[in-house]
Structure 1
């Protein structure tokens, strides 16, 4: 049997990972010229447009060495964004080596480093590669030095390639064979196969992508998912080429797919271990964890008649994305909708965009927020409550303490932007940890920040204050005590639940003032006066008033006694008072979106 090499590509967004994968597929004959298109491993239009990988992919290539020896390469493509870190860690577990791809013009970025450290922790063999050497702005020497500082290799070990022109790709393929070790081939042990990805097919159920660590899986055998304890039969197994290629068995070291009429993605979770029912493995492969959403947001249809369409759209999205969670909720202001949990901001943006594109549903989303741990008094006992929706926050009088999630953020930037970045992090209640000067005028700054301050518009502000040069990576640390309050917005004394937010007490006054000012501009004038108030509990901290639209009732009075005019004005005043008692204020969509685009000026 030919030798096997299982490897992945580690790279920051837009460093040419998918283009380089295209060249490898071409050189090994995995695709013909007719099948060729840009970023062939990225299935979604959204992935192509944004130049990012959202779902990880795998493909088998048959490589023939210059001496005629045949080798099997399994390339397991990984997402590059921080939101998909768990998917990345499982894909790394399925490999023995990784190509560290760095853009010759942009150099090492934050997310590259975080994924690289994960790969080193899992004892992967790292092959350093500089990509895009054909660019006019390529700084090959400077970027080589950054890689040497990062992983401690020699300059001569770094391969130079161009994914666009194909320069250096043949040397790269040979290096994969020479440098990356082959997998263990223990075929006789009980089956242990790592699920590193799964997709849902309407006709066949969940299709799981596995890397067989030990043992052999035969077609038709009974299989068991160890984390969920669900049992099925392996109706079809095979290799992952561009099209699925059936086979009768998968042995230790190989990568392939398994179809067993698995009804739901929840049964076949990424990171789980697959074993046989006859001769099961005693221990699962370590490292499995439940995927936990970090960011929460309400999703409502703009037209309440679309509620059922939105439900079925979310169900379909969840079939292909097990990390999306949602549950129904209602809002007085927005009607029926769903509270959805996401891995991070990019994940949330992608789900919203897919709802719009693939299902053509107009939606309103509420302000993204995180999960808080609230300790409140109930019958003289302190009770813990997890809150992911501001409207569920108890009254200030009952709250003992609130704990919020903190993250450790690593920001890599050219050194001239240190000032604006530190200002931004201080504004967002950050704790400075350290800064590390790297080669060629670059600095890594580390801060501990409340997650709630990052999910809002932190990434956009970071990019705009550094002209797009800074890159961000973060990891969850712990929950810490904070002085947090619920800020309510009231219109004529009635709270609008969809505009509520949880914020730090020191920032509440400013935020309340800005929100009232913004809503005053956006809510149209009524026939009666409308009071907009921001309140913490029962204490109003800011107020603005929308003046009533006034009809000139005295226009028909030409001259005559003033008492006639006064009488008409008094009558109008009475009418407006009565109208205010029964009138309700229509809040336009822009008002809900305004909260999302609040400026910090």
Structure 2
């Protein structure tokens, strides 16, 4: 399925939750006939029940489709469906690294929300061409002019070529496809004969085929039988199969530069595959990683214990199986005086923690107790040693401690103007600092705050929703560590 690069468009769709990202994906699959209408169902790219129920994307779902444009040419569209939540920020940035453009979907009735801002800035950081789209324009409450101004003023994205659609009815979706052709650039490559470089943007585990790696081929070409090396992890494997997503996995002879597809080798341990890694030939390949690669480390920790001590091994088995398809979370056995034997688990964030716990209950029918989440503290000792601890029990004697640092976050909060006082009060009560306030429109403001990560773990989001009557939205990103006045309290 080799294509001229001029005819390839790699893009993602980004949006705040419930603004219509998945519905638009469904309409695009329908219009390009990438999926048989008899098999089309709502939220086609959301495979897990949990994704469907909560309206979130947990696992990336790429799909390739052919589109015959109005100019008569056939284009290969590679839609890389991304997660939207901050917990999966690194995965989203690597998925964006496989794209040249992004379709930014904004609800014409709700306007710009916190996640819209965060995802748009992430796309700008990845130098993507952004195609803004106003969805739900058929709703009575749609305010097209005001929301267009928000996109220009807050995000700095010009609205000189506006796209107004209803993903639900299909109104205007064909114009989005034409805009993808016209405004998103084709992939740049050193050529099919250049040394192989492919970006790993996701992986899944199959009990029969082992680890399946999702890649975007940047330079060169790759085919079944090739011996490849993952530069970051050093793993070498012989490829048994390469293929594309249409939308299910479909084997092909070769993946060319600019294409998105999957690789099946002989690797059995998902921990050997790192998101953001670079694939090259095992012999005579490049040694240079594609930009943006880093090790993902857990940010939030919680204990998971079986209600019945007899189910300890069942919990271990469940965690091991989940870990095969989600190597971002970590776990090891621990014991508690009150709860007995269980596991200390590390997660990317709160949503990630909730998803893993819910999947344990649903998919493995387990009754579990989860402990209060905690963060990783950095402890500087007087002898110059630095410790990273996720449990206060591990703190050394106070006489040995020089200082304790805790992780901080930068929060973007969008709320009604009349709630700004209450929200600033909540932020200050949680040891936060309000950095900036900015008007979004006549009724809403954007607050930027720094807060300790530990202070938002439990009920911060609920309190925001309570004082704003459900109208506030928040997104955040890590912003380093800060020295804090923290002590351990022992309860006897």
The TM-score range, normalised by the shorter chain, is over 0.9
Provide the secondary structure at the position in 2 that maps to 1:322. Answer: coil
Q: Secondary structure at the match of 2:324?
A: helix
1:448 is aligned to 450
Secondary structure of the corresponding residue to residue 423 of structure 2? helix
Give matches, 1:221-240, under 5 Å: 221-240=226-245
1:120-519 aligned within 5 A: 120-185=124-189, 186-376=191-381, 381-490=383-492
Is contact 2:306–2:369 with CA below 8 Å preserved after alignment?
yes
1:544-583 aligned at under 5 Å gives the runs none
1:514 matched to which residue of 2? none
- Whether contact under 8 Å (2:120, 2:155) holds in the other structure is no
Corresponding pairs, count = 487
Give the C-alpha shift of residue 349 in structure 1: 0.7
The offset of 1:57, in angstroms, is: 1.1
Task: Indicate the RMSD between aligned Cα atoms, in angstroms.
Answer: 1.4
Q: Is the 8 A contact 1:142 1:440 kept in 2?
A: no
Distance of 2:480 and 2:389 partners within structure 1: 16
CA contact (8 A) 2:132 2:159 kept: no
Shift in Å at residue 279 of structure 1?
2.7
User: RCO (CA 8 Å, sep 6+): is it higher in 1 or 2?
Assistant: 2
CA 1:73–1:440 in 2, change beyond 3 Å: closer, same or farther? farther
Q: Deviations over 1:151-198 (max 9, x none)?
A: 445544120111100000111101100111111241111000001111
Distance 1:163 1:441 in 2: 27
CA distance in 2, matches of 1:143, 1:105: 8
The alpha-carbon distance between structure 1 residues 426 and 151, as it changes in their structure 2 partners (threshold 3 A), is closer
In 2, Cα distance between the equivalents of 1:228 and 1:69?
A: 41
Q: What's the secondary structure of 1:488's corresponding residue?
A: coil
Bigger shift: 462-471 or 210-219? Answer: 462-471
| Gap change, CA 1:334 and 1:7, over 3 Å in 2 | same
What CA distance in whole angstroms lies between the structure 2 residues aligned with 1:408 and 1:449? 7
Question: What residue ranges of structure 2 are gaps of 5+ in the alignment?
Answer: none
Structure (1 or 2) with the larger CA radius of gyration: 1
Instruction: State the shift of 1:205 in Å.
Output: 0.6
Cα–Cα, structure 1 residues 272 and 144, in superposed 2: closer, same or farther, change >3 Å? same
**How far apart are the structure 1 equivalents of 2:113 and 2:454?**
24
Moved more, 147-156 or 316-325: 147-156
The 2-side partners of 1:48 and 1:466 are apart by 27
**C-alpha distance in 1, partners of 2:423/2:142?**
26
Cα deviation, residue 385, structure 1: 2.0
Distance change (3 Å), C-alpha of 1:270 and 1:382: closer
Q: Is the 8 A contact 1:192 1:215 kept in 2?
A: yes
Query: Which secondary structure state, in structure 1, belongs to the residue aligned with residue 211 of structure 2?
Result: strand
**TM-score normalized by the length of structure 2:** 0.96
Equivalent residue number for residue 71 of structure 1: 75
| 1:451-489 Cα shifts (integer Å, max 9, x gaps) | 111112211211222122211121212221111122233
User: Once structures 1 and 2 are overlaid, which stretch shifts more, 259-268 or 341-350?
Assistant: 259-268
How far apart are the structure 2 equivalents of 1:183 and 1:399? Answer: 52
Query: Which secondary structure state, in structure 1, belongs to the residue aligned with residue 44 of structure 2?
Result: coil
- Counterpart of 2:40 in structure 1 is 36
